[in-house]
Amino acid sequence: MHRLARVVALSLLALPNAASAQTYPAKPIRLVVGFPQGGPNEILGRLAAGWLSQRLGQPVNVDNIGGQSGNPATHEVVKAAPDGYTLLLVGPANAISGSNPNLPFVFLRDIELIGGITREALVLVVHPSVKAQNTKELIALVRSPDAKLRMASTGVGSSPHLSGELFKSMTGLTLPVVHYQGGGPALKAMIAGEAEVMFEPMSASIEPVRTGKLRALAVSTSTRSAALPDLPVVADAVPGYEASAVTGLGAPRGTPPDVIAGLNAAMNAAFTDDAMKRKLADTGGEPLPGTPADFAALMKAETEKWGKVVKSAQGK
């Protein structure tokens, strides 16, 4: 009887987790995106929200909280109840700011990582008025005495900003940076000719490139992209250069493990669905299936990499 009583007691202890797994989600979910509408984070956030809504049977509503490279959005999620009803679209800005000691949170400590969505190349794009047809010609043009080119950024510390800083550091170029509040405003400025050079994630830049509003010179990854296979890589002109934008989902620290596991399973299912695979392929990103631990390890490595670039940029 003693053994039976112990089994019953253990079963009762497991009931809260079992109940939460069976009832979650019981109401709409909020997905916080740290940038304004129109940029790559918005595009991938709405794809993820649409899929999760369909898969979980509850609305997943995107809430854009722009500014300061996504840090206010991350802080909003850090402060939220750890119940699975407030999620964060994790992006490269989180890895870039992850080593910043002045923030009111520590990203890798305070956010439970659920799983990846995509790793995508950034595209080195120029305004059509720029005469350079490839990366080497762009470098030569920037170095010319009469060059007046400006580089657009989606915000201080964002992936486009730091990808540009890495490019400048490795080439020794002097290229003024114009910061905008997110990918949407930066792309509009590029198309209008307010800035002439930009590194922008492929999910946002691919359409203006295909329609001729911007000219693509190269992709930032170490290998060519299947979405724009004719484009060379930046490393052909700048050996060793590599940058990419990793996107996924996170939740407040302390979110129940069964909720994290359920959301992870829902996201991984997207990578086997033909319609979602086509939508993700259209963004130019490489799918990132895997466990929460896989995504946590990847974000740790990204945080360490970009922390070094930030220190280098600050030291100038």
Q: What CATH number does residue 104 fall under?
A: 3.40.190.150
Identify the DSSP state of 100: -
Residue 31 CA to residue 37 CA, distance in Å, equals: 13
144-167 pLDDT per residue, tens = 988 899 999 988 888 899 999 999
Mean pLDDT of 270-282: 91
What pLDDT is recorded for position 312?
Answer: 74
Q: Are residue 187 and residue 279 in the same domain, yes or no?
A: no
Percent of the chain at pLDDT exceeding 70: 92
The residue among 207, 236, 265 that closes a domain is 236
Indicate the pLDDT class of residue 2, thresholds 50, 70 and 90: very low
Domain that holds residue 269: 27-119+245-314
One domain for residues 36 and 65: yes
At 203 the three-state DSSP class reads helix
- pLDDT surpasses 60 at 136: yes
Residue 147: its pLDDT value, please?
86
Rounded Cα distance between 111 and 251, Å, is 6
Q: C-alpha angle with apex 281: 65 to 207, nearest 5 degrees?
A: 65
* The pLDDT of residue 1: 40
Determine how many CB atoms are found less than 10 A away from the CB of residue 140.
12
CATH number, residue 193:
3.40.190.10
pLDDT at 178: 96
Q: Please tell me whether residues 184 and 151 are part of one structural domain.
A: yes
User: Residue holding tokens 């005469």?
Assistant: 131
Number of domains in the chain: 2
- The pLDDT score that the predictor gives to residue 140 is 97
- For the cut 90, the answer to whether the pLDDT of residue 67 exceeds it is no
Q: What is the pLDDT of residue 42?
A: 84
Residue 233 has pLDDT above 70, yes or no: yes
Tokens of 47: 């794809």
Higher-confidence residue: 75 or 10? 75
Q: Are residues 137 and 220 in the same domain?
A: yes
Quote the DSSP letter at residue 315.
T
When comparing pLDDT for 12 and 218, which is higher?
A: 218
Which pLDDT score is estimated for 226?
A: 86
For the stretch 277-310, pLDDT in tens is 999 888 888 899 999 999 999 999 999 988 888 8
- Higher-pLDDT residue of 36 and 166 is 166
275 is written with which tokens? Answer: 């319609």
| Packing angle of the helix pair 257-270, 2-23 (nearest 10 deg) | 50
Residue 59 CB contacts under 8 Å (≥ 6 apart), including other chains = 28, 29, 53
**117 - beta bridge partners?**
none
Residues 106 and 157 in one domain: no
Average pLDDT over residues 81-106: 92
Q: Which of 182-191, 209-218, 244-253 has the lowest mean pLDDT?
A: 182-191
| Neighbouring residues of 174: CB distance < 8 A, sequence distance ≥ 6 | 142, 168
As given in the structure block, the two tokens for residue 296 are 């946590």
- Mean confidence (pLDDT) of the chain: 89
The answer to whether residues 160 and 137 belong to one domain is yes
Indicate if 166 and 206 belong to the same structural domain.
Answer: yes
| Position 216 in a domain | yes
Higher pLDDT: 158 or 85? It is 85
Residues 56, 204, single domain; the answer is no
